[in-house]
A and B are shown apart, each in its own frame.
Chain A
């Protein structure tokens, strides 16, 4: 297997990086390109930019953010939020992104996953799954999608998804640890790479997640502070996690 990955996640709204607890109470914490470049320098394995205020206007700004990020960083990055069609996804990839993330749009119309995989290749299609109590939630976790998380994960794989980004709403922003039981169930249910998200509070949490998932999404644990990524990588190495030498 490739090396375990650390993926700083930048929630973007209106072209700025924002952070909220349990998907609410958004506050401005910086410029996505500057922060992304700083994380890249600090040893990030890839980056995720999620537009959490995705509207029709925001889609244009996602393409612009992708283009600006590509000029500054030479590691892979994913853009998600507001992508509802192959045309939306192609625009983001042509701007220099490597993958697109889809969530509510895929729940509303699952065939979107097949369309994206056919044109872009599975490796470019990340399906983000927000889950609470074993159920899937949509629209920034505000609605019940009336689906079981394991069944939806299997359907995503069958339709051609390349990776699953699984966020535990129960844990998001709480720093109480990733939902390891959920991650283990998904690992057994699909053969896709799984990116763990939601709940990281310390290096031990991340190390535990990387035992059951291929990658860990890092948000509030980093405090929008690239220096924290440097120290976290050192702590993980001390815990025996074989991270890439990014020099």
Chain B
């Protein structure tokens, strides 16, 4: 079974933004498998306090952003980013963190990272399935992760691509991935473990 990720002396505390748009259960289960303590948060304070804030998301951009604003989580995420505290955005969570998305006729995003989400124009849409991800830098990877999306980032802050599509974005404390690590089997757990370890090394 899953090896302990070595999160001693205390477990990392991850706050998962619960705003009515996301498969939060799978994110929660994956982080717990890695030894993290997880909390589903509906209000700003615990989102600011945690070692890692996770912004999951599936569904449509406009209703997801409305869900974040209703709960004041949009401001909390901006405040967290300004303070340099780690945030992980997943799938729609990454797209919402950009400056804007063209989904739902154009919606302003949180602006945690530069760029915009645009509709996929090639291949079968939605783009659903496992696809290799190649990272910028010394370890290019090539492992396959699970994707399920109709929009993708256009950004100068891309740190990984998959079939020419932006697969990861990094801007200061914000890391966003277009794939679903929580649904990407062993490869996904390895990715999440690396994220948790990086959070702890910053803490």
A residues contacting B by CB (< 8 A) are 1-3, 5, 40, 45, 67, 70-71, 74-76, 93-96, 98, 118-124, 162-163, 191-193, 214-215, 244-247
Q: Contacts of A192 on B, CB cut-off 8 Å?
A: 124-126
Q: Are A45 and B25 in contact (CB under 8 A)?
A: no
With an 8 A cutoff between CB atoms, is B144 at the interface? Answer: yes
Q: Which of A40, A119, A245 contacts B59 (CB 8 A)?
A: A119
Q: How many pairs, one residue from A and one from B, have CB atoms within 8 Å of each other in the complex?
A: 106
CA distance A148 to B124 in the complex (A): 22
6 A-B pairs with C-beta separation under 8 A: A96-B26, A98-B183, A120-B58, A121-B60, A215-B129, A247-B186
Contact present for A123 and B184 (CB under 8 Å): no
CB distance from A218 to the nearest CB of B (A): 16
Task: Count B-side interface residues using an 8 Å CB cutoff.
Answer: 38
CB atoms of A245 and B144 under 8 A apart: yes
Q: Does B156 contact A (CB under 8 A)?
A: no
B30 CB–A CB distance under 8 Å: yes
Q: Does B129 lie within 8 Å of A74, measured CB to CB?
A: no
In the assembled complex, how far is the CB of residue A203 from the closest CB belonging to chain B, in whole angstroms? 19
What residues of chain B have their CB less than 8 Å away from a CB belonging to chain A?
23-26, 29-30, 33, 58-60, 63, 92, 123-132, 143-144, 146-150, 163, 180, 182-186, 188-189
Q: Chain B contact residues: over half helix, strand or loop, or mixed?
A: mixed
Asked if B30 and A2 make an inter-chain contact with CB atoms under 8 angstroms apart, the answer reads no
Selected from B130, B132, B185, B189, the residue in CB contact (under 8 A) with A5 is B130
A70-B29, A192-B124 given. 16 additional CB < 8 A pairs? A2-B131, A3-B129, A5-B129, A74-B189, A75-B184, A75-B185, A76-B180, A93-B58, A94-B23, A94-B24, A120-B58, A121-B58, A123-B148, A123-B149, A162-B148, A193-B129
Residue of B nearest to A2 (CB): B129
The minimal Cβ–Cβ distance linking B175 to chain A, given in whole angstroms, is: 20
- The reply to whether A2 and B185 contact each other, CB–CB distance below 8 Å, is no
Considering the chains assembled together, what is the distance between the CA atoms of A153 and B164 in angstroms? 29
Task: Sort A-B residue pairs by CB-CB distance and give the 9 closest, nearest first.
Answer: A2-B129, A123-B148, A2-B131, A96-B25, A121-B59, A123-B126, A244-B130, A244-B144, A193-B124
